[in-house]
């Protein structure tokens, strides 16, 4: 069976992850190489030092190429940061041909209209995602191709990004000789990896807690209706531990990953609170837990405050799915559930065939999602015809070619 090579690069604030693999004719993905390198030159998801960022990406690509045994030529790349904005917009066109049949060209035309939102000069459109179509007043149509009508309307979710941030990121990737197949908003990629189709249909909120950003996407009726990027992540938790316990940031980070747990007393009696020995330090696990807990409670509240509708039970019956490296924190789902009082679960990416064991960790939701994105969204044109979240239109790259 014919196989097509695909690849993804997730340029995060703490790590750069490159995944190489291929898909067969039925779009089944296989992982052939994974390369992870510590990230440098990024702050809050954005490139702030091109040389440093490029070298981190180069190292991660080199590691992935070594396992895969071939050279990486092009990849889907994730983008995030405070510079991302999104808005829901509408567009309409007339179907003027005599047969009044809606064709794929009409979808393209109506998306082009819906794309022309008022955006500041320094922003570029990243995605125009069709949410639902209306044909002659009949709404909620997922795929209007083949229907007859005089007028076609579309509701879209338009995501924009700062032109300079796009330019800096593309410069780093192209600087090491890699072409970008698509630039994808990171929470949309993460959603591909960790959300179930029923959750997207019923309504669900996804929060990817990374090193220094928490990326949010809300899905309803099978399409994305809200996206937002919070400038807080695991970094702030480690910073609090470092200040609270008088440790270096590196020590705080290590302590958090090894012993961090937000369950009070970890289910034990207070007198069982055994101190943690770290170098010459002796740390109360209760104190550690309390420091982490305070910041995590704040983060969970901020995540939920982002929700555009407050009737949670109605809006997101499938609740909240937490992913990203920060979602590895012990007791997180339980604590979040106590705060929000609706279902909360941790999203772990699926185990794909090949060398993907290392990827079965919430920290790799975006990387795996970028790979799956290609399998589920290949060919923007055909995808628009399919509609919904699968119908992605990413014209921004052409502007930077």
| Residues at the site binding Mg ion, with contacts judged by CB under 5 A | 12, 210, 366
If one asks whether residue 233 binds ligand ATP (CB under 6 A), the answer comes out as: yes
Q: Which of Mg ion, ligand ATP, none does residue 15 bind (CB under 5 to 8 Å by kind)?
A: ligand ATP
Min dist CB 286 to ligand ATP, Å, is 17
For the window 40-59, what string marks contact with ligand ATP as x by the rule CB under 6 A?
Answer: -----x--------------
If one asks whether residue 363 binds ligand ATP (CB under 6 A), the answer comes out as: yes
- Residue 152 or 190: the one with the smaller Cβ distance to ligand ATP is 190
For the window 377-396, what string marks contact with ligand ATP as x by the rule CB under 6 A?
Answer: --------------------
Max distance between CA atoms of the chain, in angstroms, equals 83
Min dist CB 159 to Mg ion, Å, is 17
- Residue 89 or 214: the one with the smaller Cβ distance to Mg ion is 214
For the window 173-212, what string marks contact with ligand ATP as x by the rule CB under 6 A?
Answer: -------------------------------------xxx
Min dist CB 63 to ligand ATP, Å, is 16
Min dist CB 108 to ligand ATP, Å, is 33
Min dist CB 261 to ligand ATP, Å, is 9
- Residue 12 or 388: the one with the smaller Cβ distance to Mg ion is 12
Q: Which of 219, 226, 235, 315 binds ligand ATP (CB under 6 A)?
A: 235
Q: Which of ligand ATP, Mg ion, none does residue 386 bind (CB under 5 to 8 Å by kind)?
A: none
Q: Which two tokens stand for residue 186?
A: 């990171």
If one asks whether residue 369 binds ligand ATP (CB under 6 A), the answer comes out as: no
Torsion angle defined by CA atoms of residues 372, 378, 384 and 390, in that order, rounded to the nearest 10 degrees: -10
Stretch that binds ligand ATP, among 62-70, 198-206, 252-260, 337-345 (CB under 6 A): 252-260
Stretch that binds ligand ATP, among 50-58, 156-164, 324-332, 377-385 (CB under 6 A): 324-332
Q: Which two tokens stand for residue 375?
A: 């399998």
Contact status, residue 149 vs residue 102, Cβ threshold 8 Å: yes
If one asks whether residue 15 binds ligand ATP (CB under 6 A), the answer comes out as: yes
Distance from the first to the final alpha carbon of the chain? 33
- Residue 134 or 212: the one with the smaller Cβ distance to ligand ATP is 212
If one asks whether residue 234 binds ligand ATP (CB under 6 A), the answer comes out as: yes
- What residues line the site for ligand ATP (CB under 6 A)? 12-15, 39, 45, 80, 210-213, 233-235, 238, 253, 256-257, 260, 324-326, 328-329, 363
């Amino acid at each position: 069976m014919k196989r097509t090579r695909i690849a993804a690069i997730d340029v995060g604030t703490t790590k750069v992850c490159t995944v190489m693999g291929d898909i067969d004719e039925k779009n089944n993905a296989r992982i052939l190489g994974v390369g992870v390198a510590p990230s440098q030159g990024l702050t809050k998801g954005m490139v702030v030092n091109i040389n440093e960022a490029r070298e981190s990406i180069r190292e991660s690509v080199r590691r992935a190429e070594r396992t895969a045994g071939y050279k990486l030529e092009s990849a889907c790349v994730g983008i995030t940061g405070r510079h991302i904005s999104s808005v829901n917009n509408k567009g309409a066109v007339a179907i003027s041909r005599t047969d009044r049949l809606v064709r794929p060209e009409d979808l393209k035309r109506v998306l082009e209209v819906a794309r022309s939102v008022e955006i500041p000069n320094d922003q570029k459109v990243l995605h125009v995602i069709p949410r639902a179509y209306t044909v002659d007043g009949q709404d909620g149509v997922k795929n209007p191709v083949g229907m007859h009508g005089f007028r076609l309307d579309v509701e879209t979710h338009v995501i924009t990004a700062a032109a300079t941030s796009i330019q800096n990121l593309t410069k780093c990737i192209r600087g090491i000789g890699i072409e970008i197949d698509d630039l994808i908003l990171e929470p949309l990629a993460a959603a591909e990896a960790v959300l179930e189709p029923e959750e997207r249909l019923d309504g669900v909120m996804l929060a990817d807690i990374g090193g220094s950003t928490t990326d949010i996407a809300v899905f309803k009726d099978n399409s994305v209706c809200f996206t937002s990027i919070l400038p807080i992540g695991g970094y702030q938790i480690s910073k609090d531990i470092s200040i609270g316990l008088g440790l270096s940031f590196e020590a705080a980070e290590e302590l958090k990953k090894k012993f961090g747990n937000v369950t009070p007393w970890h289910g034990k009696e207070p007198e069982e609170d055994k101190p943690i020995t770290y170098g010459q330090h002796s740390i109360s696990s209760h104190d550690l837990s309390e420091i982490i807990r305070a910041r995590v409670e704040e983060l969970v509240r901020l995540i939920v405050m982002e929700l555009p509708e407050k009737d949670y039970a109605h809006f997101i019956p499938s609740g909240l799915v937490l992913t990203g490296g920060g979602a590895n924190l012990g007791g997180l789902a339980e604590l979040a559930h106590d705060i929000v009082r609706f279902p909360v679960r941790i999203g772990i990416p699926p185990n794909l065939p090949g060398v993907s064991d290392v990827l079965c960790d919430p920290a790799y939701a975006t990387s795996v999602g970028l790979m799956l994105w290609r399998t589920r969204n290949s060919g923007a044109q055909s995808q628009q015809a399919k509609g919904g979240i699968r119908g992605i239109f990413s014209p921004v790259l052409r502007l930077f070619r």
